[in-house]
Chain A
Amino acid sequence: MEVLGSTLKLSMKVVLIKYNAGNVQSVLYALARLGVEAELTDEIEKIRSADRVIFPGQGEASSAMSYLKERRLDQVIQEIKQPFLGVCLGLQLLCTHSEENDTDCLGIFPIKVKRFIPSAYSQEKVPHVGWNSLENLVKNPLFKDLPESKFMYYVHSYYAELGEHTLATTSYIHDFTALLHRDNYWAIQAHPEKSGALGEKLLENFLAIPSN
């Protein structure tokens, strides 16, 4: 698939931060479909010198934070200047605090992460698993030329509250933050690597965001 200009593809260095969180292989494959061979690494210098940094993840917040701190990756993430994308647990770890094992997180976004609690009268199940729609999209380079269908694939039990940096919402039990943006940091709760054409376009748009 010819998506990005070939020069851009060849010259762009994309890294995925390696830590103790699962299934990054799918993210690597999704990037490969866009013509980008990303590298999975926890080497600080490689992360600092990359053109784009992706922080994926599926796992548990407190053990992920301990892992990052042991390797000083928490500081690296907080100081990073290039376009940075957190995905799923990666979004939650960029917030200030998660209810998952009462964990202090990286604090890039001044909002909290809470556990879904089904309402007494409804039959919503936790985790929130499946396809759900993006709503209330705020104009942003990430949303350039999106397909009409706005469904993304979600798998999560915790969600980020709404805040000033919320770029889009999704509704399950109540509205929660689907995407975030502040300075060079973007974050997405759903799994773009598994969300069909929409997910692919979001990844492509992220790669196309100019570095400063």
Chain B
Amino acid sequence: MLTKRIIPCLDIKDGRTVKGVNFVELRDAGDPVALAKLYSEQGADELVFLDITATVDKRKTLVDLVTQVAKEVRIPFTVGGGIGSIADVYALLAAGADKISINSAAVARPELVDALAREFGSQCIVVAIDSRQRDRKDWVHTHGGRKVTTLQTNAWAKELADRGAGEILLTSMDHDGTKEGFALDLTAAISSTLPIPVIASGGAGGMLHFKDVFTLGKADAALAASIFHFKEIGILELKMYLEKEGVVVRN
């Protein structure tokens, strides 16, 4: 049976992990390759690297990092952050990334999704949506959540699938950072109507939240950062728990 996926997310700035990582096993917790290997050994199903480097000239550092990760890590990984062209995607895939993730660029130029899917295949095109609720409706935000758009999340997700996106990475900004659980209703609404997988993100604070997002939220995968980085939840114990609760995971 196809398993539900657990995906740690690493924020990268100038080729280093940021946003606090607390691992005594690692000599250098800022080293993304070492952290990626550790997560992979602990049973992570995939990894996401989100590049928050501000400047374009530092992008070469990202390509070098992708090469190192591809050489050393035996599980699939996605790279996102600042990707806006076919050339950007080509460079990252050629370096060994399995998938890329775009966000603001898809909102600015939706036809980019079609072009990327045609060029590289839907399987490697993840589109991230940052969603926030207002007046009981879910609105797409861009630029790290700073800009609100006129797009509603469910319609936008459907359009992305029609344009050839291979997966949707859905972040609820209302839940992100709260540690009170994923956005179950929103995730379920999107996931049950889309023909493509949905990765839920934002709000993970405990193991129960993962069970909920897979069962009630109908997510295909769940992404989290700080709870893994600060070892509030171990991936191995999370998977044992989910298995016990009847969620199919890779053991």
Contacts and interface: CB of A to CB of B under 8 A. Distances in A.
Interface of A: 22-23, 25-26, 29-30, 32-33, 58-60, 118, 123-133, 149, 151, 153, 155-156, 171-172, 191, 193-197, 199-200
A172 B2 contact: yes
Contacts of A128: 2
A193 B251 CA distance: 18
A131 B3 contact: yes
Given A132-B3, A133-B1, A195 B74 contact: yes
Contacts of A59: 121
B120 interface: yes
Given A33-B74, A194-B75, A130 B221 contact: yes
B235 to A, nearest CB: 13
B40 interface: yes
A131 B6 CA distance: 11
A58 B2 contact: no
A194 B166 contact: no
Interface string B209-251: 0000000001011000000000000000000000000000011
Given A25-B94, A32-B71, A153-B76, 17 more contacts: A22-B120, A23-B124, A25-B70, A29-B70, A123-B192, A124-B2, A125-B195, A125-B197, A127-B123, A130-B2, A130-B45, A130-B220, A131-B250, A149-B251, A171-B1, A172-B2, A193-B74
B174 interface: no
Interface string B111-126: 0000000001111100
B198 to A, nearest CB: 9
Interface string B163-177: 000110000000000
A196 B74 contact: yes
Interface residues of B, number: 34
Given A25-B94, A172-B2, A129 B71 contact: no
B5 interface: yes
- The list of the 10 closest CB pairs from A to B, nearest first, reads A151-B250, A131-B250, A155-B123, A131-B3, A25-B96, A194-B76, A132-B2, A29-B71, A196-B74, A130-B2
A30 B74 contact: yes
Interface in B157-209: 166-167, 192, 194-197
B93 interface: yes
B95 interface: yes
A129 B70 contact: no
Residue among B70, B122, B167 having the largest count of chain A Cβ atoms under 10 Å: B70
